[in-house]
């Protein structure tokens, strides 16, 4: 006799078949990374296929490749938390951090991982990013006047403006994607790139700073070459609005310094003296 309620232990044939199918699929699921291997002399893409693990990021798979299939695969990383800026690469052709790119959010099929194209290859996924450190040396440092009896005072709005730029983790993905240097090696001589435009904007907007870097930005940092494509903003893992909040205001300031008579008169009347490009460059560490 039955009371009409379903037997909790009963599993229909359909459910059983579905469960088996799922178990088999889970057992068979694999992930393939198509990794660029080589050095400055040349190289090629190599496929590595491993069992897929749930919740992994691309860097996890690279580490498993190193542990099991290719112990000599070179990649740079430190924090695995999106904070050190070391694991920059190009994933399916788009600049990104390997440690912040989830495998299950990428389209199905092999995942291509290549080194940043704008910088010289050292080995495999590791590039020589020293160009950026050379540019950094050319940025004149923060130079405040001596503090008054009450110390330094700033409005909160000025404090907050610079905070956004200070989130930069120096991953150089914005430098990598910027076509001005990505497609024109020669421009590296005359162009600082988006990472340094935010640094220069931060310093230029600082009310306590006395260095006037506007001519430097125009003449030697090449801001005129940026045509505001916003590609840098799109790839920034810290979501810094590089173009809108740094580059465009910096361009406006540079134009004001050269061509705006009202701004010139205002500076004369207010007597705000900032150093010239030459003075600012001379003050930079060499
Ligand atoms: S907006 Fe300017 S700095 Fe940013 S990627 Fe485009 S050209 Fe380069
Ligand atoms: S601005 Fe963004 S993309 Fe550029 S180096 Fe800093 S964190 Fe990386
Ligand atoms: S390992 Fe530090 S940002 Fe990816």
Domains of the chain and CATH, by start: 26-127 (3.10.20.30), 130-283 (1.10.1060.10)
Helix and strand numbers, DSSP H then E, in the chain = 12, 7
Calpha distance 181→186 (Å, rounded): 8
Please, what is the angle between helix 194-204 and helix 156-165, to 10°?
170
In the prediction, which pLDDT does 15 show? 76
Q: Quick one: which ligand is closest to 240's CA? A: 2
> Among positive and negative, which fits the CA dihedral 106, 108, 113, 118?
negative
33 CB within 6 A, ligand 2:
no
- Give per-residue pLDDT as tens, 48-88: 999 999 999 999 999 999 999 999 999 999 999 999 999 99
Q: Higher pLDDT residue, 145 or 72? A: 72
Tell me the HSE value of 249 on the side-chain side, using a 13 A CA sphere: 16
Task: List the end-to-end C-alpha distance of the chain, in Å, as a whole number.
Answer: 94
Q: Mean pLDDT check: name the lowest of 100-114, 213-227, 228-242.
A: 213-227
* Mean pLDDT of all residues in 166-189: 97
Q: Token match 């001596």: residue?
A: 146
In the prediction, which pLDDT does 13 show? 75
**CA proximity to 56, closest of 84, 33, 89:** 33
Residue owning the nearest CA to atom 3 of ligand 1: 194
Q: Looking at the predicted structure, is the pLDDT value of residue 132 above 50?
A: yes
Confidence category of residue 26, pLDDT binned at 50, 70, 90: low
Q: Quick one: which ligand is closest to 125's CA? A: 3
* Mean pLDDT of all residues in 179-186: 97
Question: Phi-psi bin for 230: left (phi > 0), alpha (psi -120 to 50), beta?
Answer: left
Q: Mean pLDDT check: name the lowest of 67-71, 99-103, 267-271.
A: 267-271
The pocket around ligand 3, CB under 6 angstroms, is made up of: 77-80, 82-87, 97, 99
Confidence category of residue 2, pLDDT binned at 50, 70, 90: very low
**CA proximity to 279, closest of 131, 146, 141:** 141
Q: Token match 């001519």: residue?
A: 215
Q: Quick one: which ligand is closest to 225's CA? A: 1
Q: Looking at the predicted structure, is the pLDDT value of residue 144 above 80?
A: yes
Calpha distance 104→43 (Å, rounded): 28
226 CB within 6 A, ligand 1:
yes
Q: What is the DSSP letter of 186?
A: G
């Amino acid at each position: 006799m039955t009371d009409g309620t379903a037997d909790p232990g009963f599993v229909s044939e359909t459910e059983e078949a579905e469960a088996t199918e799922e178990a088999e699929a889970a057992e068979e699921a694999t992930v393939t990374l198509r990794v660029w291997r080589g050095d400055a002399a040349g190289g090629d893409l190599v496929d590595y296929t491993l069992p897929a693990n749930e919740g992994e990021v691309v860097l996890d798979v690279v580490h498993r490749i190193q542990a099991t299939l290719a112990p000599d695969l070179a990649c740079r990383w430190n924090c695995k938390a999106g904070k050190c800026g070391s694991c920059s690469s190009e994933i399916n052709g788009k600049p990104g951090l390997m440690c912040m790119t989830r495998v299950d959010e990428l389209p199905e099929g092999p995942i291509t991982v290549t080194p940043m194209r704008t910088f010289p290859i050292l080995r495999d996924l590791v590039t020589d990013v020293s160009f950026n450190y050379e540019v950094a040396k050319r940025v004149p440092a923060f130079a405040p006047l001596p503090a008054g009896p009450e110390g330094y005072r700033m409005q909160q709005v000025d404090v907050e403006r610079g905070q956004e730029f200070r989130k930069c983790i120096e991953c150089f993905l914005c430098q990598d994607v910027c076509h001005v240097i990505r497609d024109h090696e020669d421009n590296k001589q005359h162009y600082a790139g988006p990472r340094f435009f935010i640094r220069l904007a931060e310093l230029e907007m600082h009310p306590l700073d006395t260095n006037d870097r506007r001519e430097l930005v125009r003449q030697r940092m090449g801001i005129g070459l940026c045509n505001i494509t916003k590609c840098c903003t799109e790839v920034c893992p810290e979501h810094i609005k590089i173009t809108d909040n740094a580059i465009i205001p910096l361009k406006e300031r540079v134009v004001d310094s050269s061509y705006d008579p009202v701004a010139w008169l205002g500076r004369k009347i207010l007597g705000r003296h900032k150093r010239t490009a030459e003075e600012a460059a001379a003050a930079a560490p060499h």
